[in-house]
Structure formats: structure tokens, C-alpha cells
Structure 1
Amino acid sequence: MADDFDKNRHMNHDNHEENSKTDMAHMNMSHDHQGHDGHMNMDHGQMKMDNSHDDHGDMSDMDMSHDHQGHGNHMQMDHGQMKMDHHAHDGHSDMGNMDMGGSHENHGDMGHMDMGHDHNHQGHGDHTQMGHEHDGQMKMDHQNHDMSNMGSMPGMDHSHMDHDMSGMGDMGGMPMNHSNMKQRFWWSFALLIPLLFVAPFMGVDLPITLTFPGSNWVMLILAVAMYAVGTQPFFSSAKIELKQKKPAMMSLISMGLLVTFWVSVYAFIAKTFFKVDAMDYFLEFGTLVVIMLLGHLIEMQATMKAGNATSELSKLTPATAHVKEGDSFIDKPVSDLTNGSVVRVLAGESFPADGTVLSGSSQVDESLMTGESKPVKKAEKSSVIGGTINGEGTLLVQVSAVGDDSFIGHLKKTLNQTEASSSKAESLANKVAGWLFWVGLTAAILALFIWTAISGLTTAFNIAVTTLIIACPHALGLAIPLVIQRTKALAAKDGILIKKHGAVLSAKHLDYALMDKTGTLTNGHFQVQKLVTNKISDHDALAIMAALEQQSSHPLAKAIVQKAQDDGVTVTAGQDVQTIAGAGISGTVNNQQYSLVSARYLTEQHIDFEPLDADGSISYLTDGHQVLAAVSLGDSIKESAKDFVAQLKAHQITPVLVTGDAKKTANKVAQELGIDVVQAEVSPEDKINLVKQYQQKGKTMMIGDGINDSPALAQADLSVAIGAGTDVAQASADAVLISQSLPKIIDLINLAHNANRKEVENLWWGAGYNILAIPTAAGLFAFAGIMLNPLIGAIVMSLSTVVVAINALLLHK
């Protein structure tokens, strides 16, 4: 009967006005971030940067500016403390001139100004705040860098420091943001156009090649400019690869760029100053720069994450708390809270920290934290979790845990450990590029020594150079990015946002699908499940109940009002609506007194009734003499859930229901959907352990939407977050289901299988050419009179690039 749940579901709203009160000691200013220019001069105590990147080398001139456009939410910018937290970072010894501008216009000196918003929504579940750090700290989440020698960092603008550049593993750890890469590509492309008209193609003048006095100087200037603009990202990343003793794509590209450019400079000097004929490769250099920048620009767009999970967790708690000092309450930053602090939490506010209720009574929405779908009653001595949403009552809470000791703190720690340990497999393209790097370099060195002995240094040098140029990965550099882009586009049409393509494309076969219940298989919000009437029509019963409930923001009240609206019921305003303590609500509708109450109230008032046989929360409508209607409210299963489970089984994937909800509720849902394996009443840590256990048996997918799902999502081989879920879950997942149809996940699995096949095909087209051309260029078949003409090699290389592009476009679901 869910009497305990119903006990305090209706409370008066006298405290609503308190939600709008502003502590003028903390100035609140909202502003939309839409491409503002200028910088924000902020007084920061300590700066905190939690870093989660691999070694980025020297970042002294790194531009990490962000253009924040169209952000509808408000951004908390309370920088009481800005710390720099370092977790084993390397290669950041010089960051003195780092520009991290935030693109805000004319905000002047803002000192310790709190530009946050106090979101006092009443009865709403979505209280995420788009701040940089709600506990008064601004963080930059990067791991594994040594930033100990960053110096004073003059001129650094910290207005936007919550950047996430993880997920770039396939790009060889390229230390570059999207805007910078885009600028380099367009500048290089602009320089390539005139270069096409003045540079020969592999020593041969094309019909469009222009020769005029000084044309060789024009060619040199264009190439030097392109070298300055377009090569730095590749060289920096290659340095990282070589330092790690793992040469891969960046090393292969850099080798090709260095050889084509400097050999061409040598040829220019020889022809211009010494009148010695020599072949230059400026055009090959230019096309390699543009094609590689294009490939990595595509890959960057496909890899950029929607957010960082740990930073999203920080947004769950408010920036300020109503702290008791003496006989009054003062708004203070949450970072000032300590164990034992007493805070007041108003209706609709999120709890600033974990604690124990000292006084008051309310219902708290803990669904996103614990998986419990129903609001939980809180009274004196009840425990509350920071970040959960208070219902309609006002609670006085004594803080029991803050920072790392809190529920969210433990969740952050678990999530960080999971993301650090669950590194994705090295991309196949990087492996192939690593092999080609060693094959090309070894073949060129051997050719240089062997042909020097056979035909002299000049011939040997030309053969070695040709070998290295043939190894240039034109097609290989586009082989994977084009497949990624095509996969992303096809998935988007199906309502799926792919965020981490490496995990998606590696999911060739899955054995287990672990699924959360609330919000994943169910709709995640209350609905009228059953309505039984007595001597009154369904229409009239809904009209009366909605009239009593329409002023309430309680989830059950909203469900009744929504049902009335959906059924086209005209709802009049209830008069003298009052809460019956611990029982329900009463009021006058059309001059008749009615009450919507619990079964216990009916028993206490000696009103005869027949208990409603239904699950969920049950309320009874009475006129004081008899029961007129009974209504059951609860979460409902999504229409597509049963078909989704059936399709999983058809694909030989075992569905497993994993939820923090009660066993009875979980088993009922599992039975309706045909799920045989159920894990109920599990914590976020339990979910991680379950994922790990199933991973030992086979490839495991995790599907969820709540904060409590985020560590498990990060751990799984493939993870999908529900688009209507929390930002934390979406930031932890490999893909986000925007569509309402769960079977679209099956389409994603099929698409991943086809995309993986295209990846392999493209790698064969891209690398297969090099496998044949490198030994031929090195003179391995010279005994048979077969030597690779550089012009023929360049033509075949161009054709392989075209084939790779066409093959990627042929990808389908």
C-alpha cells in the first residue's frame, strides 16, 4: 500500500518565497556565453587543475581557448579557491605563456564575485548547474602530467578552464584543441592552392604548372609557411610517441614531412645556387600536410567528448549553502562547510553535502544517486546524500561528510580509478602506422648502405629518399577518420551520439548487456497505472483529484494532473486545499469537500473501502463518507523495452538487469521483459564489480542513465547512456541514445560491426600499397629490372587515397 511513502507526500508551500531570497553579500550575475571577446580578471586564491591527459610535451604556447556559444544554462564562476592538482604529469615544464582565454566581453575586475545562480526549482528533478565548480573550486580535469614547473603563468585567463581533451588516443596524444587544428588546416589549404600551380609533381611539370622568374622562390616561401603553420602538431605528438618508445601514426607522418620538406630544400639550394639538377618534393609535402590535418580534424570532431564525468559530478551540489550561525542563516560557499555545520535546505534545493536531518520532514528524490525510483521520506535522524533533491518540505541538516569523504567524493574517486584502469585498446591504425614506420625507416637505411656500395652515394641517396616518401601515409591517414565520420553520421540519423568511437568500433561482438532499470528500461517518472472508480466516472474522478493536486509539485501530484491533461479533462481550481499531516490532502471542489488520502487514513477514520490490488503508490478519493476512487501511481516500462530485450537475445547477448531498486520491484520488471538474470539493491561500487565479473566471461555492454551508473559505464567494453539521463552518465559513456527507442542500440551494434569491417578494408587499401611499394622503391626487385618510378608511385598513392574515401562512403547499417 506504500503508506509510508504516502505519509508526507502533500505539504504546504509557505516556504516557497524563501527560495527567491538572495543574499546580497554574494552578487549574482547571469550571462549568456555567446562568443564574447575580452578577458576576465579574476582574483583566484589557489588554482586547481585536475589533469587527465597523457604527456603533452612543452605546452608553453598552447592555446586552449574555448568559444562558448549558445549555452542555455548558467555557469557558476565562484572561484574562492582555484587549485592545481597534479597527478603524475610529464612534460609541462614550461607553460608560462599558456593562453586559456574564456572569450567574455568587458566583465572587468570581478575579484571574488559569485556569478552563480541559485536554482531553487520546486519539485523538479533537474538541478544540474553549468558551473565550473560548485564547491568554489575551478578544475581542469587532466591526468598523468607533471605540471610542477609551470612558473607564474603570466597573463593566464582562467575564465574557462574546465576543458576535456581525453579520448584523443587514436591521434597519438595530439596536444591541440579543435579550433587550433581547424585554423591550421585552412591556412595550410590556402597555401596549398598556389603551390599546386608552381611546384612540379614528383619532378614532372603538370599542365597547370607555371614557371616564371622567381617561381622557385615562391614555391620555397609557400612551403616554408606551410611548414611553420601545419607541422607542429605532428612533430609534438611524434616526440611524445618516440619518448614513450612507441612510434605510431604521428611518427610516420612526421618522418614523411621531414623528408619531403628538407630534401626539397636541399634540391632548391642545389638548383638555385649550384646549378645542380635535383628533384624536389614540395608538392608532395604540401598535400601530405593538408591531408593529414584534414584526417585528424575529422577524427577530432568525432572524438570530442560532451563533458567530463567527474566535473559533471561537481555540478550536482549547489555553490552556496544556507549555514546556521547563531540564530540566523547566512549563505556561504559549499567549500566552507565542515563536519558538524548546520544547514537549512529549502524545498526544491539540492543538498550541499551528506548529513543527518535535525528537524523537518520531506520527500527526497534520490533516484539518480541510488536508483530508488520513489521519493524517499526524510524526517529527524534520517540520512541525506549531497546532490539529491529535496521535495516540498524544509529540512535542517547537520553535515556529516564533505569533500572526498562524501558520497559524491567516493563516486568521483571510483570513477577516476575506473577511467584510468579501463584504457581502450590501441587503435589498429596506430599499430599499422607503427609497423610501417619501422619498415620504411629500415628499408631506407638498408637501401642507402647497399646501393652506396653498388652504385655510389648519389644513387643510393635518391633511392633511400624515394623509399621514405613512398612510406608517407596519405591514404592511411584518412582510412580510419573517414570511417569514423561516416559511422558517426549514420548513428546520428538513428538518434545515437557516438562520443568515443574507439570503444564503439571495437565492439565487434558482445556477450552480456547489463542494464539499469529506472530511466533506462522504465520511463523514470510516475504515471497513473490503474484507476478504479465507485459511483463516479473516471473523468469526474480525475477532475476532482487533479483539482486537489494541481498546486503541488510532488511527483505523484504531477502524475495525476498530467493524466487529467492527457485525457482532456477540464480541471477547476480547488478551494481551501490543505495538507492532512502524514495522510494526504483535502479541499473543496465544486462546493463539495473531498480528500485524497492513504489507506491508513481511511482505517483511522473508519471509512469502509476495498484495498486496491496494484503495485506502486496507492491513494483513495473520498467525500468523507465513502471511497469514490482509488488510483495507483508508479514508474512504467518503456514501450520499446520488451522488443529490445528480445533482440538482444536474438543476437546471442545475455540481458542482465542491474539496479539499486528493491528486489521485488526489480524482479517484477524483469519478469515482464523476459530478463532471467537480476541484480537488485546494488551500489555504484557493486555495479562496477558486476561489470568486471562479466568482463571476465566475455565482452560486456552497460546501459544506464543515472549518476550511480557512471562508474560502471566507464568500466564497460561498450557503454550507452540514455539521452534523457544525467550529464554525469552521458560524460562517462561511449555513446548516448538520443532516440526514445531502445532497439536503436541494436542498430548501433550492427553498425559497429560493419564499421569495423570497413576499417580493416581501408587499412588494407591504405597500407597494402605501402607494403608493396616500399620494398620495390628500395630496389629489392632490381635484380629483375624492376624499380619503382617515383611518378608512378605517387599516382598509385593518390589512387589508394581515392579508393579509401569511396570505400568509407559505402558503409551502411
Structure 2
Amino acid sequence: MKNMNHDHAQHDHSEHSMHDMENMDHDHSEHEMHDMHNMNHDHANHDMNNMNHDHANHDMNNMNHNHAQHDMKHMDHDMSGMDHSMHMGNFKQKFWLSLVLAIPIIILSPMMGISLPFQFTFPGSSWVVLILATILFIYGGQPFLSGAKMELSMKNPGMMTLIAMGISVSYVYSLYAFVMNLMAPQQHVMDFFWELATLIVIMLLGHWIEMNAVTNASSALKKLAELLPDSVVRLTKTGEEKISLTEVAKGDQLKVLAGDKMPTDGVVISGNTTVDESAITGEAKGVKKNSGDKVIGGSVNGQGTITIEVSATGAEGYLAQVMELVRRAQQEKSRLESLSDRVAKWLFYVALIAGIAAFLVWLLVADLSTALERMVTVFVIACPHALGLAIPLVVARSTSIAAQNGLLLKKRSALETGEAIDTVVLDKTGTLTAGKFTMQKLILTSDQLSEDETLAFLGALEQDGNHPIAIGMMNELKNRNVTPHKASEVANLSGIGLSGTVDGKKVEIINEKELDKRQITFDEKLITDFKQKGSTLSFLLIDGKLMAIVALGDEIKPEAKTFIKALKERNITPVMLTGDNEQAAKVVSEFLGIDEYFGGLLPQDKEKIVSKYISEGKKVMMVGDGINDAPSLAKATIGMAIGAGTDIAIESADVVLTNSNPEDILHFLDLAKVTKRKMIQNLWWGAGYNIITIPLAAGVLAPIGIILSPAVGAVLMSLSTVVVAINAMLLRLKK
């Protein structure tokens, strides 16, 4: 298996690195959880200087990341034609106002020449219909006309073009009919105002339903930019000055206070601290930083104040590179064409060819008026009333079912492609593990102390520490409401741990290597399970006697093992990715039964691995929770974010696991299968009637006296819409 050696330093709480998830060394003076020198964050070596991003109003070296307008037209082309018109107005508002305009039209004008029981007319009613229809065509039809213009400019006609053709033909021919009826009332020409009104209203309703069910445009890039502070403190020869982040240059020395965000990538030149990189790397444990260590812009400083020298700003920075990866992946992914768009494209060409052919043939065998009526009837009957609701109704139903099963669907394309997934790539921390470095078990090896008393002794030495082991222990004391004892003469034991004096007793917290060296024995069975999980082990000695063993680590989720087994039973290959070193990755993957895994990864590496699987023809679902997962989430066939993860990961994903339970991924895969089946059924109902009605409307069977009446076409069209709605509501998820 590929070994991408990203050893996050040596942390010798246990001599056996394969049992030490992070190879942590309890040397508190040199407790470097992640050796950033090994992370190869040499941003200067990445030729990213041509990136064009605007860091949320920070003109980072003249970068222009205008997130609000950053090629959004290419970033989310998956909403049944609505993708092309996200910016074209509020569909909810347009629907209601259009409905108000449509109701009088429906009441005052006949349906394809047939007067329905509720319809009536009065002198001048035709003028009312004309005026209302004109307003409706311009206002309600605007998103579809604009969308069609975009589709045609891209030489990719789809749903918007089909709708635009239907409403345009209906309006223009109805206008012609109005003029002809005004000039020669005795020769009545049938208009299509009724069809115009119902088509616009139904299409707006369909898009509103879909928008209401599925979250739209991603703001992942904007979220990334917001990780950086607006202003920084720069050190000068005369003291300190507060400046805008835009003024920072490479080589500047910046002061970063406790709790502040790192303004740029840099190197620590004075002070020491523990940095929370979870928003960047997704890893739960803090990373100790001393002089010479690298820091990443956007990470959060811990309790210490440090001075950093800026190593990269703007396009060279780590966050900027992640943003570029996300942007590129989103653009590539957006080129996927939805199922309904493919059907609409096919239907558009069929209707166009059939309509023109009908016009030419009838022009030869009859007259211009008949030829025009046949062509218009074909175009109007091809209008996708049912097709416009076929997918949105299924999506709305699926979204509701998904929410009940811990899933937030952000992009409809995920439902269409979910059934084909054959590879699930999982980020370890936060997905397969809890993502929190905590005390897993306190094992008492003597009956002289209770658990709370033991914790009080541990807290005596660890209460002033700011490294992950100390934080994990102190959090346990806090959870149990235990007050630590007072300690004196606390000292770091290099490569060993800590020592101090409590109530006249010598107290030590040491690692397993030191325990073996002192030849202190205990029942090895007590720690076997924790070694297999890769936990970090600490040993409490009081006056030289072993009193307790502390197991700390990022706990593997209890349901993770059964989830991996279930994936394999479905012939889906699980793959684990992690920033942890190779040995730590091996321990977790073997415990869970994952055959393919990659350790020591940077965000770029994760995205490359996902790309590699995709290039091999795999349909890949990526599951992650950190900023370092954002590029691969955007790149994957389906990106699934853990709900407890970072906003950036969530915004980059197609689906969000709201309960952070990996077993909900199985619910998604099941839901995707039944949803795809319903979508195909509805598309047949929504577009299938055209297979019969378009040829009949064109007059193919006219020689034997069979020709489709516009009224019959309207009835079939309405019937298919009802069937589509009922079929969508029958969607169920079997468990």
C-alpha cells in the first residue's frame, strides 16, 4: 500500500509505534505533535501565482477572489435547468405573482379550443387575457428565456430551451390568433393562452419545489476566506503597529496573541504555544509549536503568544491553494449533465424536427394556416408540464426521507449518481473516529486510590500543560468535577514525561518505554485492546509504584466496523485517507478491516487520490470533515461532509451527514437507488406520452383519418402530470 510518509513527529508515550496512533512522545518540552517541517507546506514551490480569488475583501497581493460572482454559472449546473438561472430571481415570489396573473387567463380562455365548465367570457375579455398573458410571459417566463439563451450560447439545449420554446410559440401564435380573430371574427383561430399560463406556473412551481428541497449555490470559497483575520500586529524597529492583512509582505514579523487566528503561513521565531489546526487539517489534537516550526494561515493559536515570520501570503498561502483546488473541482464537476436535462435535450430536438417537418408536409398537402396550426400544436404538446415536475417532486420526497435519516441533500446530482457508487473514500478523523483526543480509559492497577483520587494526582502535574495529552486529561477532570491536587517541583523529564511532588509524595507520569526500563511489570492484557486501537498510553507512578494506566486517543466510532463490513457486502470498496503517519493509519485500517489506506496526506494528496480513482473509471464518494477534505469533497463524484465538521467541508459537499453517523451513508446509498428508479419512472411518464402525441399531433396517421386533437393532447398532458405527482409520493426507503 502506498506510503506517503507524513510522520507527525515522535511522541513516545508508547515504545511500540504501531500501537501509538500518533507516535506521541510524552516529552512535554519537545511535544511536537505534527512536525510541520515534514508536511511539505513549501508554498513558494507551488506555482499558484495566477490564482484569481478575493479573500473576502482582503486584497491579498492583488488577488481577485470575488466569491459572490466567481464563475458561479459554472459551479452548480445540476438543477434541472434552474442551474442556468440561479441568479434570475426568486422562484417562490415569481410563482405566486404568476399564479395571480394566470388564474384570470385560465378562467377566461379555453384549453386548446375546449371551454371548461368553470370558464366564461364577457365583451372585452380577450383583451384582458392578452394583457395579462403578455405580463405573465415577460415576468414569469423571464428565468426560462434567460436560461434558454445561456443554454443555446453554450450549444447545450436542455430543459430551459424546451420550456422557452413552448411558452414563446404559445405566446407568439396566440398573439397571431388574437389579431386574426379581431380582423375576421367569423374565422376563429384557436389560441394557446391557457397553455402559456399553465406551463409557466407549473414550471415555476417545479423549480420552487426543488429549490426549497435542496440547498443551492455553494459558498465554500467565501467560508475559506473568512478564516483569515482582517488586521494583524506587525513588529517594527520602533515597536508594534496594527495594519490591514492586505499590507502584510513576505518576511514581515507578526505578533499572534493567544486565541488569535494565524494571519498567514509563517515560521515561529519566538515563543511557544499549541495551535488548533482542526479547521485546516481536520485533526482533533492540538499541535505544539516551538521556534522554527511552521504555522498555517487560518489555524487558531492556543494559550501562548508567539512571533511568526511570514513565509507566504496571497496566492502562495496554504488556504489560497486549497481554495484553488476547490474552485477547479467544482467547475469540473459542474459539467455533469442531469438526467432530466438529457431527456429535455432529446425532447427539444424531437419536437423541433417533428414540428418543422409537420409544417413543411402540411404546407404541401394543405394550406399555410393548417401547416402553422399543426406545427404549433406539436411544439405546445411537447411542452414539458409533467417533465418539469417529474424530478422536483421526487427530489422533494427524497429530501424529506433523507432528513429523517440524518442526511441533508445539497445537490440533486448526488441522488442521480449515488446508485453507481463503487468506491467510498473516508477521511479517518471525524468520520471513522470521534475527532476528539480524549481519555478512553483510566485503568487502576492498585486499590489504594479511587478513580477521582487518581485523576486528582494526574491533574496535579498536567494542569499547567497545553499539549494534547494534558488537555485530554484535564477535560476528563472537568467532566467529572474533580479538583486537581497542588503540586510542587514539577519538572519535564526529557523523553519520559513529568514528575513532581504532591503531599510529600513523588508523583510521575511516564511512557511505556521508561516503564520497561525500570522493569515495572503489570498485566499486559489490560492494555491489549488499546494498543490495537493505536491509543496513547501514560503510566502514573506514586513513590515508584504503578497506580494507574491512562489510555488516550481519538476513539474509533462504535458503528464504524459494522459500517465497513456493510460496504463490502454491497461490493463497495472502502478506502481510508488520513494525515496521520503510515503506521497509525495501518493500525486503524486493520482494526476496521479496510484493505486500501493512505497515510501522511496533505489536502493536495487527498484530492489527487480521489482524482486517481475517478480516472480509473470509479464512481467515488468522498466522506470528510475538515478544510483539508474540501478539495477532494468537491472533486469526488459525490462529496459527503460530516455535520460536526468545518463549514468549508460542509459547503464543498453534495450531502451532509447531520448526525455524523457513518451508518447513515448506507441510508443514502439505499435512498439513491430508489430515488433514481423513481426519477426514471417519472421521466417516462413525464416525457413518454410525447412518443405517441408528437407524431399524432404532426399528422402521421392523417392519411387514415387519425389526427390528434389539441384537446386530446391537453388531456393526456394533464393526465401524465397527475401520474407523475402520485408516483413521486409513493417513494419509500425500505430498511
Question: TM-score band (shorter)?
Answer: 0.7 to 0.9
Instruction: Sort the Cα spacing of 1:609 and 1:9 in 2 relative to 1 into closer, same or farther, 3 A.
Output: farther
Shift of 1:349: 2.4
Give yes or no for the alignment of 1:776 onto 2:696: yes
Structure-2 separation of matches of 1:725 and 1:785: 66
Tell me the alpha carbon deviations over residues 719-763 of structure 1, each in whole angstroms, 9 at most, x when there is no partner: 211111111211221111112321110110111111111111111
- Identity over aligned residues, as a percent? 41
Structure-2 separation of matches of 1:215 and 1:251: 31
Question: What corresponds to 2:712 in structure 1?
Answer: 792
Question: What corresponds to 2:203 in structure 1?
Answer: 292
Tell me the alpha carbon deviations over residues 118-146 of structure 1, each in whole angstroms, 9 at most, x when there is no partner: xxxxxxxxxxxxxxxxxxx864352288x
**Contact 1:575 1:587 (C-alpha < 8 Å) held by counterparts:** no
Aligned partner of 2:408 among 497, 515, 521: 497
Instruction: Sort the Cα spacing of 1:402 and 1:50 in 2 relative to 1 into closer, same or farther, 3 A.
Output: closer
Instruction: Sort the Cα spacing of 1:478 and 1:427 in 2 relative to 1 into closer, same or farther, 3 A.
Output: same
Look up the equivalent residue of 1:560 and give its one-letter code.
Answer: M
Give yes or no for the alignment of 1:221 onto 2:131: yes
1:459-478 aligned within 5 A: 459-478=370-389
Give yes or no for the alignment of 1:251 onto 2:171: no
Structure-1 separation of matches of 2:504 and 2:230: 46
Shift of 1:581: 5.2
Structure-2 separation of matches of 1:5 and 1:376: 13
Shift of 1:665: 1.3
Give yes or no for the alignment of 1:679 onto 2:598: yes
Question: What corresponds to 1:660 in structure 2?
Answer: 579
Look up the equivalent residue of 1:756 and give its one-letter code.
Answer: K
Question: What corresponds to 2:330 in structure 1?
Answer: 419
Give yes or no for the alignment of 1:143 onto 2:71: yes
Tell me the alpha carbon deviations over residues 603-626 of structure 1, each in whole angstroms, 9 at most, x when there is no partner: 9xx999559955544444455665
Structure-1 separation of matches of 2:645 and 2:490: 32
1:333-732 aligned within 5 A: 333-370=244-281, 373-533=284-444, 534=446, 535-546=448-459, 555-564=468-477, 569-572=480-483, 574-575=485-486, 580=491, 597-599=509-511, 614=531, 615-623=534-542, 626-695=545-614, 696-732=616-652
Shift of 1:228: 2.4
Aligned residues: 680
Structure-2 separation of matches of 1:515 and 1:431: 31
Structure-2 separation of matches of 1:595 and 1:10: 21
Tell me the alpha carbon deviations over residues 203-251 of structure 1, each in whole angstroms, 9 at most, x when there is no partner: 2222211222222222222212211220111111111122222221111
**Contact 1:84 1:139 (C-alpha < 8 Å) held by counterparts:** no
Flag the structure with higher helix content: 2
1:750-765 aligned within 5 A: 750-765=670-685
Tell me the alpha carbon deviations over residues 758-798 of structure 1, each in whole angstroms, 9 at most, x when there is no partner: 11111111111111101101100011211111111101100
SS at match of 2:548: strand
Please, which moves more after superposition, 550-559 or 737-746? 550-559
Unaligned runs of 5+ in 1: 12-47, 52-75, 86-136, 146-163
**Contact 1:237 1:250 (C-alpha < 8 Å) held by counterparts:** yes
Please, which moves more after superposition, 775-784 or 389-398? 389-398
Look up the equivalent residue of 1:502 and give its one-letter code.
Answer: S
Tell me the alpha carbon deviations over residues 454-498 of structure 1, each in whole angstroms, 9 at most, x when there is no partner: 222222222222111111110111111111222211111111111
SS at match of 2:429: coil
Structure-2 separation of matches of 1:423 and 1:582: 55
Instruction: Sort the Cα spacing of 1:304 and 1:530 in 2 relative to 1 into closer, same or farther, 3 A.
Output: closer
Structure-2 separation of matches of 1:81 and 1:509: 41
Question: What corresponds to 2:21 in structure 1?
Answer: none
Shift of 1:422: 3.4
Look up the equivalent residue of 1:339 and give its one-letter code.
Answer: K
Question: What corresponds to 1:37 in structure 2?
Answer: none
Structure-2 separation of matches of 1:588 and 1:571: 19
Question: What corresponds to 1:95 in structure 2?
Answer: none
Tell me the alpha carbon deviations over residues 379-412 of structure 1, each in whole angstroms, 9 at most, x when there is no partner: 1111222222323222211111111112222222
Give yes or no for the alignment of 1:809 onto 2:732: no
Look up the equivalent residue of 1:219 and give its one-letter code.
Answer: V
Shift of 1:629: 2.8
Structure-1 separation of matches of 2:82 and 2:89: 18
**Contact 1:291 1:474 (C-alpha < 8 Å) held by counterparts:** yes
Structure-1 separation of matches of 2:213 and 2:88: 11
Aligned partner of 2:660 among 733, 740, 755: 740
Structure-2 separation of matches of 1:178 and 1:735: 25
Structure-1 separation of matches of 2:568 and 2:500: 51
Structure-2 separation of matches of 1:767 and 1:79: 50
**Contact 1:141 1:311 (C-alpha < 8 Å) held by counterparts:** no
Shift of 1:554: 5.4
Shift of 1:558: 4.4
Question: What corresponds to 1:58 in structure 2?
Answer: none
Structure-2 separation of matches of 1:579 and 1:404: 45
Structure-1 separation of matches of 2:706 and 2:440: 79
Structure-2 separation of matches of 1:411 and 1:362: 25
Instruction: Sort the Cα spacing of 1:422 and 1:179 in 2 relative to 1 into closer, same or farther, 3 A.
Output: closer
Structure-2 separation of matches of 1:232 and 1:579: 74
SS at match of 1:571: coil
Look up the equivalent residue of 2:81 and give its one-letter code.
Answer: M
**Contact 1:710 1:733 (C-alpha < 8 Å) held by counterparts:** yes
Tell me the alpha carbon deviations over residues 619-651 of structure 1, each in whole angstroms, 9 at most, x when there is no partner: 444556655333221111011101110110010
Tell me the alpha carbon deviations over residues 563-621 of structure 1, each in whole angstroms, 9 at most, x when there is no partner: 3465xx442365578964577778898x6777564449989xx9995599555444444
**Contact 1:508 1:749 (C-alpha < 8 Å) held by counterparts:** yes
Greater length-normalized contact order (CA 8 Å, ≥ 6 residues apart): 2
Please, what TM-score do these two structures have when normalized by structure 1? 0.77
Question: What corresponds to 2:12 in structure 1?
Answer: 2
Unaligned runs of 5+ in 2: 1-10, 14-23, 32-50
Instruction: Sort the Cα spacing of 1:418 and 1:594 in 2 relative to 1 into closer, same or farther, 3 A.
Output: farther
Look up the equivalent residue of 1:6 and give its one-letter code.
Answer: H
Structure-2 separation of matches of 1:768 and 1:685: 46
Question: What corresponds to 2:107 in structure 1?
Answer: 197
Instruction: Sort the Cα spacing of 1:360 and 1:620 in 2 relative to 1 into closer, same or farther, 3 A.
Output: farther
Structure-1 separation of matches of 2:211 and 2:298: 33
**Contact 1:577 1:586 (C-alpha < 8 Å) held by counterparts:** no
Instruction: Sort the Cα spacing of 1:464 and 1:600 in 2 relative to 1 into closer, same or farther, 3 A.
Output: closer
Please, which moves more after superposition, 726-735 or 773-782? 726-735
Aligned partner of 2:152 among 231, 237, 242: 242
Tell me the alpha carbon deviations over residues 62-83 of structure 1, each in whole angstroms, 9 at most, x when there is no partner: xxxxxxxxxxxxxx98667897
Instruction: Sort the Cα spacing of 1:144 and 1:538 in 2 relative to 1 into closer, same or farther, 3 A.
Output: closer
Please, which moves more after superposition, 531-540 or 496-505? 531-540
**Contact 1:721 1:729 (C-alpha < 8 Å) held by counterparts:** yes
Look up the equivalent residue of 1:689 and give its one-letter code.
Answer: K
Please, what TM-score do these two structures have when normalized by structure 2? 0.85
**Contact 2:465 2:471 (C-alpha < 8 Å) held by counterparts:** yes
